[in-house]
Structure 1
Amino acid sequence: MQQTTDGPGTTQKTASSTAMPPEPGSGKGRSHGTSSSEPFDRWFRYPAGFASDYVALLLQQLGLKQGSLIVDPFAGTAVTGTSARRLGHSFIGIEAHPAIAELASIKLQKPPGEPNLLVETGRLLVEKVSAAPLVYAADNLPDLVRRCFTSEVLSTLISLRETICASGSPWSTYLKWGLLSTLRDVASVRVGWPYQNPNMQRKPRHSDPLLRFVRRLEWMAEDIRKWDWTTSGQSHAVVAGDSTLRSSWQSIAPASAAGCVSSPPYLNNFDYADATRLELYFWGEVKTWAEMCSTVRAGMVTATTQQSSVVAARSAEDFLAKHKKVADEIKALVANLRDQRLLRPRGKEYDRVVPEYFASMSQVLANLSSALGANSSAVWLVGDSAPYGVYIDTPGIIGRLAREHGFSLEQDVKLRKRGQRWSGNSARHNVELSERLIVLRRE
């Protein structure tokens, strides 16, 4: 049955269509997020809305022909990409975080040789580091990196990094991510998602960074070995770019995609760039907060108050004023959130984030509409939010925006409750939040 929403968290049956399956519960190393044990997912634990077992279920429900092209405008670490490949489909994803796009790309591209060579190369590097560890200048490292590890562990990690960079190995990018995914395993402070807390000590889950690094490479090699890289007639790639821009979609021919499964950033003030600051700082891809904002976060969808600006918000409000199905709703939300902010001495600028976020969603939907063929479906997993207790029906608004870009909203299904971890915080709102699945069909 087709389902549409009558209100937040409710569904109404209408015409016929295949109902989407519910999200699996915890298991296989996952709990409503990227798996820490499934092949390819386990290369790096990125905070995202999908696990590969659920993506596979959703793709199968679309009833696509073998070899169909699947697209994902918020590709992340290519969870949809690897799932599409496993089911015999082609895939093109777009990811704005440049480092995460790099990781997604190596999951999908043909490796430079036999996977046992990756492990052998890693072991040789470990032997080299063990024989002659580097002496590093601590003052040259960002404070966050210095505080996350003991001096001995940090010396080993830096030695590995420099040895990988100097190796010239065709496996260098794989070695890099084997090392980056080791960082949180051997940290001696709290470094869980979303943010690192170097003030809170903890016992490292793994004490030997060299052994853990090799084990990470062994997992990567196992996963690479399981896949037949000679499969003909399929292509798989991730574009590093901003999916709001038409230029990022140039590799996707108009009306060529048969489906989309994606999880856009939630409107919940989660900063995906800042969440990876430890990895970015350690590798030297950025050295300061300002550099991270200008080089990594600049092309990402505005979903946090730290990304917003007065000028961009006004421009977004003008843009959305032309969207008749949502203009009044968003205008009312902005006014309400502005009032709430002014009531607080240091109120956050959610009133600026909201128009920027939905303007970006509109631009992505416009590009997706051009890429999808007629009667193709787009399945998005997204949560609602309630900053300062002001309820924002994010999935519903996205569905209404989609109608202005040639989509019909076929289903809006509540999957689970959200925000339970903060239920004991007396200062937090008591609005019930949920994660929902919306199914859009390109008309």
Structure 2
Amino acid sequence: MKMEQISKEKMPTATTANHYPIHRWYNFVAGYSPEYVHLKIMDYKERQGHFPIKIYDPFAGCATTNVVANTLNIPSIGVERNPIFYKIGLAKTNATDVRSYINDISAEFLESASNTVSNGNLSKLPADAKIFLLKLFPEGSLEKLLELKSVVSGYRDIKKVAGFIFLSKVIDMVTHSKTDGIYKAPTSRKQYRTVEDSIVLAETIFNEDSLLLNNHESLSEYIFDSSVDFQPEENSIDLVVFSPPYLNNFDFAEMTRMHMYFWGEAGSWREISDKHRNHMLVNTTTALKLVRSLEQQEQYRQSLPNEVLAKVEPIVSELFLLRKEKPSKKDYNLIIYPYLAQMQAVLKRCFTALRTGGAVHIVVSDAAFYGIHIDTQEYLADLMRDMGYSKVSIEQMRTRGKRWILDKRASSGKQLGEYEIFGTKE
């Protein structure tokens, strides 16, 4: 897979992923480009004189890091807690095996879709899921899609993985609701296709990519787990490349709500939290249920080094006062300590896993809460220095677009940006 030459500003975005086989099987706007991962691997090779022996991504998402590693025949580990992202990543990291089933699955889907009558699948959906999905799909189309889900449930092993990503691609073509940012907006409208036309188009995409796969071997270990809890083997990793959830940015449970409901991973907003969001990194106020108590907040606060606390304690106090003055405001003061403490845990696990001479590259953004700027990149760099990383540096990759320039953010005096944090283990 030959990588394009793109500008540095595009590196921290996923805008080029749809140019490449496998990556385009399913892609979300959040995340960095395949070119970015490729460049970090080449940077490592230039420094060390050889390719990395193993790569690790603790927030693997849809497997961009691992797919690039596969194409270069480099073993990798990816960890992902969102069940939708995990299954998409599992399919993409086993692309050759998945591709071998696509034509059969497409034929079976077309036969099932053409024979589908009202079969009661809608009535089996939990009430909240049914209401939400009917806002995203014509009822007849949803009936057919649910029947195709029944077909996939009868598959086994890698064919089931292939059926999951293929049908996920199809439902994204069938929905008449467009993506607003990264969320499916029920009140919006986009051009959409019939179930049958979507199956044919999806098969075409997978078949075109098969000509470019070269039957490369999967060297990726893809794991369903929390990055805060998972520990790779000590001294086993040469290169860590990842982009964690940004503070007060995308809710990675909400962004897959359509898929969570469709695939039965959750049947309500509460189940999304109880089963998934509460087990992910705390980065938004929607994820505060388990970290609201003063005792929990204090535990997170005490885990952080003094250098970081000196910078963030005044911010937390100011946000607390704002919240107290205006009860309608969000509890932004409650997400800073958990976020930094959990990121500290991830970075410590990465440090333990790195071999001497290994490196970590992190793409992250700053934030602004009601005009108060949060220099996330600086706090994470301080955490890395405190735990022993060497050569820690921060480079701005781009400023974030005009849609981020709101009055409440502009009053902080800074425009939001995306940054790369670099560090090594000496």
SS in 2 for 1:237: strand
CA contact (8 A) 1:258 1:373 kept: yes
1:6 alignment counterpart: none
The 1:172/1:222 distance shift into structure 2, 3 A limit, reads farther
- Alpha-carbon separation, structure 2, partners of 1:66 and 1:57: 12
1:12 alignment counterpart: none
CA contact (8 A) 1:34 1:49 kept: no
The 1:336/1:190 distance shift into structure 2, 3 A limit, reads same
- Alpha-carbon separation, structure 2, partners of 1:441 and 1:109: 30
SS in 1 for 2:246: coil
Work out whether 1:420 is the aligned partner of 2:406: no
SS in 2 for 1:127: helix
Alignment match of 2:112 (pick from 128, 136, 148)? 128
1:299 alignment counterpart: 279
Q: RMSD of the alignment, in Å?
A: 2.4
1:182 Cα shift?
2.4
Work out whether 1:152 is the aligned partner of 2:140: yes
Paired residues for 1:329-368 under 5 Å: 329-368=311-350
Q: TM-score, normalised by structure 2?
A: 0.88
Alignment match of 1:209 (pick from 166, 188, 195)? 195
Alignment match of 1:429 (pick from 403, 406, 410)? 410
1:104-156 CA distance string (max 9 Å, x none): 1222237547x354213321221132024443354543211011111222122
SS in 2 for 1:334: helix
2:219 alignment counterpart: 235
Q: Which amino acid aligns with 1:99?
A: I
Work out whether 1:374 is the aligned partner of 2:356: yes
CA contact (8 A) 2:235 2:354 kept: yes
2:63 alignment counterpart: 78
Work out whether 1:187 is the aligned partner of 2:184: no
- Alpha-carbon separation, structure 1, partners of 2:67 and 2:360: 17
1:168 Cα shift?
4.9
Q: Which amino acid aligns with 1:317?
A: R
Alignment match of 1:276 (pick from 240, 256, 264)? 256
1:426 Cα shift?
4.2
Work out whether 1:267 is the aligned partner of 2:247: yes
Alignment match of 2:161 (pick from 173, 190, 214)? 173
Alignment match of 1:102 (pick from 72, 84, 87)? 87
Paired residues for 1:38-57 under 5 Å: 38-57=20-39
Q: TM-score, normalised by structure 1?
A: 0.85
- Alpha-carbon separation, structure 2, partners of 1:382 and 1:120: 41
1:317 Cα shift?
1.2
The 1:395/1:412 distance shift into structure 2, 3 A limit, reads same
2:3 alignment counterpart: none
Q: Which amino acid aligns with 1:337?
A: L
SS in 2 for 1:377: strand
The 1:282/1:110 distance shift into structure 2, 3 A limit, reads closer
The 1:265/1:170 distance shift into structure 2, 3 A limit, reads closer
1:442 alignment counterpart: 425
The 1:34/1:365 distance shift into structure 2, 3 A limit, reads farther
Q: How many residues are paired up?
A: 408
The 1:241/1:167 distance shift into structure 2, 3 A limit, reads closer
Structure that is richer in helix per residue: 2
CA contact (8 A) 2:13 2:31 kept: no
CA contact (8 A) 2:87 2:165 kept: no
- Alpha-carbon separation, structure 2, partners of 1:174 and 1:219: 14
1:182-211 CA distance string (max 9 Å, x none): 2232222334433222123x143x322222
- Alpha-carbon separation, structure 2, partners of 1:108 and 1:303: 27
- Alpha-carbon separation, structure 2, partners of 1:230 and 1:241: 26
Work out whether 1:92 is the aligned partner of 2:77: yes
**Any gaps of 5 or more consecutive residues in structure 1?**
1-20
CA contact (8 A) 2:227 2:346 kept: yes
1:69 Cα shift?
0.5
CA contact (8 A) 1:381 1:435 kept: yes
CA contact (8 A) 2:234 2:354 kept: yes
The 1:369/1:67 distance shift into structure 2, 3 A limit, reads closer
- Alpha-carbon separation, structure 2, partners of 1:152 and 1:175: 21
Q: Which amino acid aligns with 1:227?
A: L
Q: Which amino acid aligns with 1:403?
A: R
1:196 alignment counterpart: 184
1:313 Cα shift?
2.4
Q: How high is the sequence identity, in percent, across the aligned residues?
A: 25
1:395 alignment counterpart: 377
The 1:422/1:109 distance shift into structure 2, 3 A limit, reads closer
Q: Which amino acid aligns with 2:233?
A: A
CA contact (8 A) 1:254 1:371 kept: yes
CA contact (8 A) 1:126 1:160 kept: no
SS in 1 for 2:102: helix
The 1:376/1:116 distance shift into structure 2, 3 A limit, reads closer
CA contact (8 A) 1:388 1:429 kept: no
CA contact (8 A) 2:371 2:408 kept: no
